[in-house]
């Protein structure tokens, strides 16, 4: 997430739009605010309603 922030800051100073990077960064921030900040980047899937990690057999 830190690298994305650096890229977005530089792009803003250069007046170069990066809408997909900005959307990805917002998704990571949302995941972090939802309590997934300490997890792997793949935890962003948890912020989308109805989508989650597959459950292990017998869980």
* In a domain? residue 59: no
Confidence of residue 57 (pLDDT cuts 50, 70, 90): confident
Taking the C-alpha atoms of residue 9 and residue 42, their distance in angstroms, rounded to an integer, is: 23
* In a domain? residue 55: no
- How long is the chain? 59
* In a domain? residue 23: yes
* In a domain? residue 26: yes
Report how far apart the first and last C-alpha atoms of the chain are (Å, whole number). Answer: 31
User: How many domains, in total, are found in the chain?
Assistant: 1
Q: Sign of dihedral through CA atoms 31, 37, 41, 43?
A: negative
pLDDT of 54 over the 80 cut: no
Structural domain of 35: 2-47
Res 59: pLDDT: 54
* In a domain? residue 53: no
* In a domain? residue 8: yes
- Model confidence pLDDT, tens digit, residues 1-47: 788 889 999 999 999 999 999 998 998 888 888 888 888 887 788 78
pTM of this prediction? 0.69
């Amino acid at each position: 997430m830190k690298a994305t922030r650096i890229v977005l800051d530089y792009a803003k100073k250069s007046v170069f739009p990066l809408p997909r990077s900005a959307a990805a960064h917002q998704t990571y921030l949302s995941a972090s605010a939802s309590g997934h900040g300490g997890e792997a980047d793949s935890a962003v899937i948890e912020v989308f309603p109805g989508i989650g990690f597959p459950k292990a057999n017998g869980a």
